[in-house]
Amino acid sequence: MRRLDKAAAFFSCLSSLCCFVAFRLILGPTLLSTALALTLLPLQYLLLARLHPTRVALGSEEAWELESFLHNLSVKLGYGLSLEAALQRAAQEHEGGLKVELVEASRRLEAGEAPEEALRPVCARLRSSGAGRLLSLVPRLAGYSSPKAGRMVNEVVRLLERNRRIKERLLSSIRREELKVRPLSMLHPCTLAALYLLARQMVELTGYVDPFELIALNVSLASLSAITPFYATLAVAGSRPLQRSLLSLSTYVALQIVLASLLP
């Protein structure tokens, strides 16, 4: 069963609340407004849960650690060492969270266990499918001579390094786009807070005051101040969308309090 994405659930509820207020103003206080808003709720949740990244950083760290280990292993194999000896030395020189498991795997391999069985504890420790596929290269080296196995691993590492450089350029482009979202987290709630106070002043001037409509408008604008940065951050594949949304919502509330205290 898929785990509940709390951030996606929270912002889909806020978005559905905005839709309910809009439908109520258009269609009136009918059951149709509630039904339409509730219909959009699961659809928005599925969209946000699909867009919201949760485990990208974890997979990247594990893949980078195994890439470093394989590079060291290819160097040892290039010296003419056997797979068992190369794996043992590479595991002893490795620095990372998998060092204990790799050292134990090298000992079990040296004791005569099959490579797949020796590396099983390491695979059980991994939480990234990409890192698991990367580690599956090691058992396949047993059927090759040490120099050829070293060249094969070195070629794989070279391709992985090239792929990482491409990803780094992509991440750099994403960060540039994310810089455009940061001002939005401040300017957008300021505009919405000013819009609400303007609407309240106009309502007081006309003499027609409906408390429910004012509350609904305030809640709807507050929800928009939190939703927009969240969607915008996901659209550019940026990081920390929840933090941007909370910053925007806090700005909306704080500015509304300040403006309300300054205006008569």
Per residue in 71-114, pLDDT tens?
787 887 777 777 777 777 887 787 777 777 778 877 887 777 77
Quote the CA–CA distance of 193 and 97 in Å, as a whole number: 48
Q: Is residue 126 part of a domain?
A: yes
Alpha helices in 28-145 (DSSP H): 31-51, 56-78, 83-93, 99-110, 115-118, 120-125, 129-135
The last residue of one of the domains, among 128, 143, 158, is 143
Q: How far is CA 87 from CA 104, 200, 230, 235, in A?
A: 10, 72, 46, 43
Quote the CA–CA distance of 141 and 134 in Å, as a whole number: 13
Query: Which pLDDT belongs to residue 170?
Result: 72
Query: What tens digit of pLDDT does each residue of 4-28 get?
Result: 777 777 777 877 877 777 777 667 7
3 and 81 housed in the same domain: no
Query: What tens digit of pLDDT does each residue of 111-157 get?
Result: 777 777 777 777 777 776 666 777 777 777 767 777 777 787 777 77
Q: Which domain holds residue 128?
A: 57-143
DSSP character at residue 263: -
Quote the CA–CA distance of 143 and 89 in Å, as a whole number: 20
pLDDT at residue 50 greater than cutoff 70: yes
Question: Could you tell me the pTM of the whole model?
Answer: 0.47
Residue linked to tokens 């709630």: 189
Of 11, 3, 6, residue with least CA distance to 40: 11
Query: Which pLDDT belongs to residue 245?
Result: 81
Query: What tens digit of pLDDT does each residue of 190-245 get?
Result: 888 887 877 777 777 777 666 777 777 788 788 888 888 877 777 777 777 778 88
121 and 182 housed in the same domain: no
Q: Is residue 121 part of a domain?
A: yes
Total of domains in the chain: 3
Query: Which pLDDT belongs to residue 67?
Result: 76
pLDDT at residue 59 greater than cutoff 70: no
- Where residue 142 falls (left for φ over 0; alpha for ψ -120 to 50; beta otherwise) is alpha
Quote the CA–CA distance of 191 and 221 in Å, as a whole number: 10
DSSP character at residue 53: -
254 and 182 housed in the same domain: yes
28 and 74 housed in the same domain: no
Residue linked to tokens 């898929």: 2
Contacts of 134 (CB under 8 A, 6+ apart): 63, 66, 67, 70, 160
81 and 40 housed in the same domain: no
Query: Which pLDDT belongs to residue 58?
Result: 44
250 and 184 housed in the same domain: yes
Residue linked to tokens 């969209």: 47
190 and 254 housed in the same domain: yes
Query: Which pLDDT belongs to residue 238?
Result: 72
Query: Which pLDDT belongs to residue 206?
Result: 73
Query: Which pLDDT belongs to residue 2?
Result: 61
